[in-house]
Structure 1
Amino acid sequence: MAERPADHTDAAGLCAELIRFDTTNRGNGESAGEREAAEFVAGVLAVAGVEAKILESAPRRANVLARIPGRDPSLPALLVQGHLDVVPADATEWSVSPFSGEIRDGYVWGRGAVDMKDFVAMVLAVVAGGLRPRRDVVLAFVADEEDRGEYGAHWLATEHAVEFAGCAAAISESGGYSYWVEASGAGGRGLPAAGGRAVRLYPIATAERGTAHLRLTARGRAGHGSRRNDENAVVRLVGALHRIATHRWPVHLTPTVEAFLVRTGAALGVPVDLSDVDGTLARLGPAAALAENTVRNSTTPTMLDAGYKVNVIPSTARAQVDTRVLPGAEDELLAQIDALLGPGVEREFVAHQPPVQAPVDSPWFTAMADALRAEDPEAVVVPYCMGGGTDAKAFSRLGIDCYGFAPLWLPEGFPYRELAHGVDERVPVEGLRFGTAVLRRFLTDC
């Protein structure tokens, strides 16, 4: 009997298949590679009648590109981008094999189920179902997002920018999923009343903080550990790190975060005072987790390197600081860091990528919100700012407005955000069906 052909319109099945490709990215160029997953993606597109190309930036570091013509070629194109690589997983900590792609108890299990083979699967399912978009849709399924993007999005944006010609906006990970919050009062500003019941927020990312990772180098006078030394490089470095780690960065409200606070407060029936952001966050309850890391810049010491023998004072000591900067705040941030360093300590960038800011009130955002509400009439759609970073940083350099919109319906209490890079990563099958329906509406009509 001939083998039954795969159902490429089933996002859960596609997600499981994608998970079974081990595309582990260990960083610093060490990777299992995305080649087989890329070939699978290109094969699904080919069956749907979409010609795709595979571009390798290095052996096995594969990226898939395709363009689906729209019904109205005069409209600017939309980029739909997602990454094929995943972070490592320790199988001894998991309930299932991380690369089994097992479907059980209503979930697809495995590394990448949340970050972000679920989105890739939903997009492929929409295309396999016969997508006829209003405008051109450019598809990019890329390598290396889980490291620096040097083999993926940043390489494509530099070496193959022509592939994205005409793209005005992009969608990708980290937005459009349901986030349940208990409301305390009546709604406002045109949002539904919500007193005493759970509200389903759907945050769409319209911004993300920039990356300004720093290496600090303290220099001093080498000497014997038993003797006084007022030019001890280790002491200088520790002092600088203490000042940076304990500095209270001021509130810096971006358009995205301000809109999130106002609209979420109205939906939950709680007062919003933009002159007291910390008090407002306290009143938002669990919803505050979507904004608390993006009302300020942040500087977190993460790495130390000094000395080679306990009785020797070294002449240099180094540290790295994970620094995240909000749109429009980098000059102020760096000036303050320079003031905190103290004598004998210098800084340099280890990684430097600017923040991302797309318009909050735009036809793109409206179309995403409409698609969500068409599938969930009680959806409360709000903008938010991502605290970390994505490949949007690469594509925004091309003048593309980048949004985090990978829609999913999630059951109340489901720890979605914690499962990205976590143990027993999984995504609900019903959530994938919902997200596929939302994406079909959006990609067809936007």
Structure 2
Amino acid sequence: MSTSPGTPDVVDLCAQLIRFDTTNRGGGSSEGEREAAEFVAARLEDAGVRPTVLEPAPRRTNVLARIPGSQPELPALLVQAHLDVVPADPAEWSVHPFSGEVRDGYVWGRGAVDMKDMAAMTIAVVAEWAATGRRPRRDIVLAFVADEEDQGEFGAHWLVTNHPQHFAGCQAAISESGGFSYHVDGTRLYPIGAAERGTSHLKLTATGRAGHGSRRNPANAVTRLVQALARISSYEHPIRLTPVVEAFLVGTGKALGVEVDLSDVDGTIARLGPAATLVENTVRNSTTPTMLQAGYKVNVIPGTATAQLDVRTLPGTVDELTATIDELLGPDVRREYLEHQPPVQAPIDSPWFTAMADAITDEDPEAVVVPYCLGGGTDAKAFSTLGIDCYGFAPLSLPVGFDYRAMAHGVDERVPVDGLRFGVRVLDRFLSR
């Protein structure tokens, strides 16, 4: 797809979006998404699409729109992208993180791959449709949302709770973290996200008997907590192969000419070489201690001690993992959820997945498309509660040696110019099907 005269170029759109500082520091502290959202809304209006702007709190702005299809009886598709970004320290960067500078074949800046690139590609496709008088076959629902980088309480989770009518008829959704090229020994893999591990943040509280630090105390809360954390940290979670991960192993092994032995998953992963990073964190659950707090004075044994765990759960394993954690904690440590977002997965034997794969191979006939499971989380966890099958599909063609997975939240985040234009072509093919 070539850009029609007068329509915005995806590179310019991406650079302009990056120049809006939409830093989300978490806990409700944010620069806000309003100016970026107003820019998006204006570009949609330029393309003849009427946007709806919604703010659950001042400056926490979301933009929604629906493009009617020529065959409205078909299931609708949701395209969702978040406008907020994580913080960036200018002192650490080669360019200012909100400069949107275009140089050396890349657009540089915070959000370049997470995920203002996808927002720009979506707007570019919609603008091209308007310029050429085209429309999609099915309704396309657009959501440019706030607060993905924190809890989503001002973005996707708020929208599905308070404005679910905007997503009526949507059967599937696409968003970040999939559809990018991944080079392995001359093979171009394109992993499409079809599942995500669940995200739970647990607070552990150990109780004991307070006392003087110089005296024997078998009911020391700190000791009880540390012993529980030691048991949790040393526990080897068992392999749990989900359908998506199994399909990844089989498809990737075949493409790379690697023996796949599903009775020895760790050995199989070791043979995948660089492709192992796409799967090694999604064959097991994980329970990672990240925060500790106890006491107020070195010679006083506190009556309580607390810790926090980052827990990631594979689809179908939530109850099993909860029981394991309870067993490892012991009798004097209790747990409570600070956040609990269950895992999600979407079918891979579906026309949606096939259409995404076809859109990629139409542009890159040597592409090997495989499903994969995201180790982290996205707004798919919110939209899936509406019964929508959510996929990670923000297509990009990346050069050999480009460490795409290090870009998100990293220093000198950038996206290839050619990759953006490839993404627009693939996205146009998919959304037009």
TM-score normalised by L of structure 1: 0.95
Q: Match of 2:282? A: 294
Amino acid at match of 1:133: P
Q: Match of 1:91? A: 90
Amino acid at match of 2:379: D
Where 2:428 maps in the other structure, the secondary structure is helix
Mapped partners of 1:216, 1:154: distance in 2? 26
1:19 maps onto 2:22 in alignment:
no
Mapped partners of 1:12, 1:172: distance in 2? 19
Q: Match of 1:258? A: 246
Amino acid at match of 2:16: E
1:7 Cα deviation (Å)? 5.4
Mapped partners of 1:128, 1:175: distance in 2? 23
1:171/1:155 CA distance change after superposition, 3 Å: same
Mapped partners of 1:7, 1:249: distance in 2? 56
Any conservation in 2 of the 1:25–1:87 contact (CA below 8 Å)?
yes
* Root mean square deviation of aligned Cα: 0.8
Where 1:327 maps in the other structure, the secondary structure is coil
Q: Match of 1:35? A: 34
Q: Match of 1:220? A: 208
Q: 2:297 aligns with which of 309, 320, 327?
A: 309
1:343 Cα deviation (Å)? 2.2
Mapped partners of 1:362, 1:137: distance in 2? 18
Identity across matched positions, percent? 75
Q: Once the two structures are superposed, what CA deviation does each residue of 1:286-312 show, in whole Å capped at 9, x if it has no partner?
A: 101100000000000000111100000
Q: Once the two structures are superposed, what CA deviation does each residue of 1:152-201 show, in whole Å capped at 9, x if it has no partner?
A: 0000000000100000000000000000001xxxxxxxxxxxxxxx0000
Q: Match of 2:327? A: 339
Mapped partners of 2:24, 2:7: distance in 1? 26
Any conservation in 2 of the 1:8–1:124 contact (CA below 8 Å)?
no
Mapped partners of 2:13, 2:177: distance in 1? 20
Where 2:122 maps in the other structure, the secondary structure is helix
Where 2:149 maps in the other structure, the secondary structure is coil
- Where structure 2 has 5 or more consecutive residues not aligned to the other structure, the ranges are none
Q: Match of 2:270? A: 282
Where 1:369 maps in the other structure, the secondary structure is helix
Amino acid at match of 1:344: D
Q: Match of 1:124? A: 123
Q: Within 5 Å, give how 1:50-65 maps onto structure 2.
A: 50-65=49-64
Amino acid at match of 1:161: P
Q: Match of 1:152? A: 155
Mapped partners of 2:96, 2:8: distance in 1? 25
Q: Match of 2:69? A: 70
Mapped partners of 1:7, 1:391: distance in 2? 33
1:132 Cα deviation (Å)? 1.3
Q: Match of 2:218? A: 230
Any conservation in 2 of the 1:256–1:360 contact (CA below 8 Å)?
yes
1:352 Cα deviation (Å)? 0.3
Q: Match of 1:384? A: 372
Where 1:383 maps in the other structure, the secondary structure is strand
Mapped partners of 2:335, 2:348: distance in 1? 34
1:8 Cα deviation (Å)? 4.5
Q: Match of 1:185? A: none
1:114 Cα deviation (Å)? 0.8
Mapped partners of 2:308, 2:380: distance in 1? 24
Mapped partners of 2:162, 2:271: distance in 1? 47
Where 1:129 maps in the other structure, the secondary structure is helix
Any conservation in 2 of the 1:9–1:126 contact (CA below 8 Å)?
no
TM-score normalised by L of structure 2: 0.97
1:405 Cα deviation (Å)? 0.1
1:81 maps onto 2:84 in alignment:
no
- Where structure 1 has 5 or more consecutive residues not aligned to the other structure, the ranges are 1-5, 183-197
Any conservation in 2 of the 1:8–1:44 contact (CA below 8 Å)?
no
1:48 maps onto 2:47 in alignment:
yes
Q: Match of 2:229? A: 241
Where 1:352 maps in the other structure, the secondary structure is strand
Amino acid at match of 2:97: P
Q: Once the two structures are superposed, what CA deviation does each residue of 1:389-439 show, in whole Å capped at 9, x if it has no partner?
A: 000000000000000000000001101110100000000000000000000
1:279 Cα deviation (Å)? 0.4
Q: Match of 2:412? A: 424
Q: How many residues align?
A: 425
Q: 1:273 aligns with which of 252, 261, 268?
A: 261
